[in-house]
Amino acid sequence: MADNPNSMPKFFQFRPPHVLAAPVNPADINTIQGVYPRKPAQLPAVGGNEGVAVVRQVGAKATNRFVPGQWVIPAAPMLGWWRTEMTVPADALIALDPLVPDGCPAAEALDLAQAATLTVNPTSAMRMLADYVDLDQAGMFVQNGANSGVGRAAIQIAKARGIASINVVRKRASPEADAALADELYALGASLVVTDEEAADARGMASKLRKVAGNEAEAKPQLGLNCVGGRSSVSLAKMLAHRGVLVTYGGMSKRPVTLPTGLLIFNDIEARGFWMTRWIESASSEAKHAMYAQLVAWMASRELTVEAQAYPFDTDGLAAALAALDGPYTPAKPLFVMPAAL
């Protein structure tokens, strides 16, 4: 399953890191299906947009950037992490160890699931909470799909930053299931968890938001994160403060984003879209470094955690991981754990 090292310029060559773990994300499946806007550079292609590997050997021109034994993660999308060995340009990887506080090796500070899932969900949550609205002072945001990978990262990052999170989840089959999910998100640091039915009740939400803010004054989220669309985007838009921004990063309902005209005209709300790939392709390496250093620090302190379900990297493991993605909701992300990590 190794690349041919001769297919790359020598000066970029970064000899085989051994992949330790790689998650199965819904976007990986969309890429394989060909419905994702970015296509693999060549076919046949290896799947998997993120993962963690350990450096075994460094090409002559990259010795100033990587040291054998370090953990590395992708700096570029579409590298193909569902394999055991890979040879990629040095620019396409980020060494984790130098980012861990107090000189601790990444392998001691982070668990495999944290390291392997660092580049898609937590980065998306961090950027959306940072790049659209200044939430620093007594900020509050609202999100739907709050139990998704991005949603859980957003709850934890907001808590670490002192921002209140209003979290909308789909109503479950029973009140007990609703309560169990809410408890999970409260344990991560959620300020408020409501079902989509509760979120649609504007008057009830206004009262709940005032309680979260701890005062009777106007308390409205300045930012909404939307991965659902349809009626759920209407609920979010109605909660937003004057000049609030609704950022769409997914469309789980398969329905378009819907915005009441009056909210746009009279409340001056704004609808934007977020795509992590665009940020990665345009950000400076300093900006990327600063982002990953902050995320790694939160992970090392366990302020940012991820639940994963390990699968062996073989045909049965692949089938089981895919079945888990399609199956009933679970907070655990399917994660291939490679032989090198066992």
Residues marked active site are found at: 36
Q: How far is the CB of 259 from a copy of itself (least distance, A)?
A: 5
Cβ nearer to a copy of itself, comparing 137 with 261: 261
Strands in 51-114 per DSSP E: 52-54, 71-74, 93-95
Cβ nearer to a copy of itself, comparing 190 with 234: 234
Positions in the binding site for a copy of itself (CB under 8 A): 37, 229, 234, 248-251, 256-275, 278
**Burial class of residue 140, CB neighbours in 10 A (0-12, 13-18, 19+):** buried
Cβ nearer to a copy of itself, comparing 147 with 253: 253
Q: Rounded to whole angstroms, how far apart are CA atoms 192 and 169?
A: 11
Overall residue count recorded for the chain in this entry? 342
Cβ 250 vs Cβ 256: under 8 Å: no
Q: Which two tokens stand for residue 316?
A: 């049965």
Q: How far is the CB of 249 from a copy of itself (least distance, A)?
A: 6
- Could you tell me the CA-to-CA distances from 75 to 46, 50, 94, 285, 317 in Å, in that order? 17, 9, 6, 9, 26
Q: How far is the CB of 69 from a copy of itself (least distance, A)?
A: 38
Cβ nearer to a copy of itself, comparing 154 with 257: 257
Q: How far is the CB of 38 from a copy of itself (least distance, A)?
A: 9
**b or e along 172-198 (b: 16 or more beta carbons within 10 Å of the residue's beta carbon)?**
eeeeeebeebbebbeebbbbbbbbbeb
